Amino acid sequence: MVKQIQRFHREPIINVIIGLKMTNLKDVIIIGGGPGGYVSAIRASQLGLNVTLIENKELGGICLNWGCIPTKSLLKVSEFKKNLDKFKDFGFNISGEITFDIEKIVKRSRDASKQLSSGVKFLLKKNKVEVIKGFASISSIAEFIEINITKDNGNNEKLETKNLVIATGAIPKSLPGIDNESDRIWTAKEAMIPKKLPKSLTIIGSGAIGIEFASFYNDMGSKVTVIEAEKNIMPNEDEEISELAKSIFTKKGIKFFNNAQLQTIDLTKNNAISKFKIDNKIHEIVSENVLVAIGVKGNISNLGIEKFSIKTENGHIVTNKKMETNVKNIYAIGDVTSPPWLAHKASHEGVIVAEIMAGHQKNHELKKEVIPGCTYSNPQIASIGLTEKQAKQKDIKLKIGKFPFLANGKSITIGDTEGIVKTIFNKETGELIGAHLIGSDVTELINSLSVAKTLETTEIELMKTVFAHPTLSETLHESVLSAYDKAIHI
């Protein structure tokens, strides 16, 4: 016995080393390098986990490459253009024609994406996250989860992991029965890289994406028509804000059709004809391009979702509050899961899931009512919490405050007086139930109220807060005061 032990005593160690190399076991594999995936990867690595991130396209995902970031660059351009009209009001004498180059405008937005994407690459490297470019799918689930990666050159690589995070995001929903391959029919991606400015554009859907492009193209000079199936534009927003937005955008030249059921989009040589029905009456709009912005669906094709029976609902993966799917050690975060489909929600979930995988006991779940939503049109729209209608449906007794930017000193100095701040409180507890803003820079203002809501302040703390003067943020204060009939400047 003794001899045997002596003889074999080195072998098992070698086996273990070889075994490790062969299986290449990871603590965490994250599929998708968007704002959910890359943030989760960094946090997991910071917590000492061995992390591999697999991305099929560009790091930063839709948000950074084909969403939030490049559109903000475009919208800055249209804001400039809008302000050109105001130059005279500010005392400038401008003579001669001011023109723009759409190619340069698009290039600038692409450069912003590129810069941030390489920033993500750097951050991942700095945090020792292994990044593999390729298409990942689940190939088997046993003690560990095996992932197959198909690289660009067609080669396959297999990796094993203890935990898997699916952060593959979402893709635009397409309209059935319509030639989506045509150059005339755009998704958000094509709308971000126009070769020329269309003379006219029809936008199907008036959510955040539809409205941002409507605002951009309208400000740049296209004739924009928006077709919305619901009663109000921006159906997720407070009705009062939706109505105000519609009147402001209408004044700026955008044409809206609500309660409209799209029938067909017929393509001619130079145009697309959108046919839709309102109250059984057929309408037709002819435009150079049509942007389909009717929402997104989870990006789950060819991942192995069906094969391994990962539960989905309406094309999105179902998770619990800990981001766990129905399959052990497989998590999902961000747009591939339930709404709201927002980058900042994905990132927060990414951090939470990393901490769960690292064994943190205390985990402060993400409350959906404290996630703000922003639309970066001109004017901007931002909101948090419940709308007035939703609050009333819950039988909550309300205190509602409103304050217009027209009565705010800073707004007058900068010449942006459109819009209001609406705050909704629970009459009994003083809880800030919701806030709904439309106006200049409200996507920045909303964050003060996010802090207030997260900290569970009541109207009293908000009233006691000293807001600097003169700032746009004073409208938040006045809106709260107005809810309790204490507003000063109106």
Partner 1 sequence: MVAQIKMPALSPTMTEGKLSKWLIKKSSKVVSGDIIAEIETDKATMEIEAVDDGLLYEIFVEEGTDNVAVGSTLALIKEDNDTEDQLNSFLEKNNIKNLSEKDKKIVQEINSKTNKEIHDTNVDKKFMNVKENIPKDERIKISPLAKRIALKNNINFSSLLGTGPHGRIVKKDIEDLIKSNKNITSFDSHHKSSSDKSYRDITHSSMRKTIADRLVKSATEAPHFFLSVDCDISEINKIRENVNKGDTNISINDFIIKASALALKKFPKANCSWNNDFIRYYNSYDISVAVAVEDGLITPIVKNAISKGIEEISIEVKLLASKAKKGELSPEEYSGGNFTVSNLGMFGIKNFNAIINPPQSMILAVGKAEPRAVVSNNEITISNLMTVTLSCDHRAVDGALGAQWLNKFKDFIENPSLMLL
- Kindly list the residues in this chain that would bind partner 1 in the complex (CB under 8 A): 364, 428-431, 455-458, 460-461
CB of 456 vs partner 1, minimal distance in Å: 3
Which of 316, 364, 469, 477 is flagged as catalytic?
469
CB of 458 vs partner 1, minimal distance in Å: 5
CB of 236 vs partner 1, minimal distance in Å: 24
Q: Which is nearer to partner 1, 361 or 413 (CB)?
A: 361
Q: Which is nearer to partner 1, 349 or 441 (CB)?
A: 349
Print the SS3 string covering the chain. Answer: CHHHHHHHCCHHHHHHHHHHHHHCEEEEEEECCCCCHHHHHHHHHHCCCCEEEEECCCCCHHHHHHCHHHHHHHHHHHHHHHHHCCCCCCCCCCCCCCCCCHHHHHHHHHHHHHHHHHHHHHHHHHCCCEEEECEEEEEEECCCEEEEEECCCCCEEEEEEEEEEECCCEEECCCCCCCCCCCCEECHHHHHCCCCCCCEEEEECCCHHHHHHHHHHHHHCCEEEEECCCCCCCCCCCHHHHHHHHHHHHHHCCEEECCCEEEEEEECCCCEEEEEEECCEEEEEEECEEEECCCEEECCCCCCCCCCCCCEECCEECCCCCCECCCCCEEECHHHCCCCCCHHHHHHHHHHHHHHHCCCCCCCCCCHHHCCEEECCCCEEEEEECCHHHHHHCCCCEEEEEEEHHHCHHHHHHCCCCEEEEEEEECCCCEEEEEEEEECCHHHHHHHHHHHHHCCCEHHHHHHCCCCCCCCCHHHHHHHHHHCCCCCCC
Q: Which is nearer to partner 1, 404 or 430 (CB)?
A: 430
CB of 394 vs partner 1, minimal distance in Å: 14
CB 293 within 8 Å of CB 192: no
Q: Which is nearer to partner 1, 27 or 461 (CB)?
A: 461
Q: Which is nearer to partner 1, 16 or 460 (CB)?
A: 460
Q: Which is nearer to partner 1, 190 or 431 (CB)?
A: 431
d(CA 176, CA 127): 43
CB of 455 vs partner 1, minimal distance in Å: 6
Q: Which is nearer to partner 1, 334 or 401 (CB)?
A: 401
Burial 324-350 (b: 16+ CB within 10 A, else e): bbebebbbbbbbbbbbebbbbbbbbbb
Rounded to 5°, angle at Cα 44 from 145 and 122? 110
CB of 437 vs partner 1, minimal distance in Å: 21
Q: Which is nearer to partner 1, 372 or 430 (CB)?
A: 430
- Catalytic: 360? no
Q: Which is nearer to partner 1, 273 or 396 (CB)?
A: 396
Which of these, 456, 319, 479, 487, lies nearest to 404 by C-alpha position? 479
Q: Which is nearer to partner 1, 191 or 452 (CB)?
A: 452
CB of 382 vs partner 1, minimal distance in Å: 22
Strands 330-332 and 156-166, sheet pairing? parallel
CB of 431 vs partner 1, minimal distance in Å: 5
Q: Which long-range contacts (CB under 8 A, 24 or more apart) does 263-272 make?
A: 264/177, 264/178, 265/175, 265/178, 265/179, 265/185, 265/290, 267/179, 267/182, 267/184, 267/185, 271/184, 272/182, 272/184, 272/185, 272/202
CB of 485 vs partner 1, minimal distance in Å: 19
CB of 34 vs partner 1, minimal distance in Å: 27
Residues with catalytic function = 469
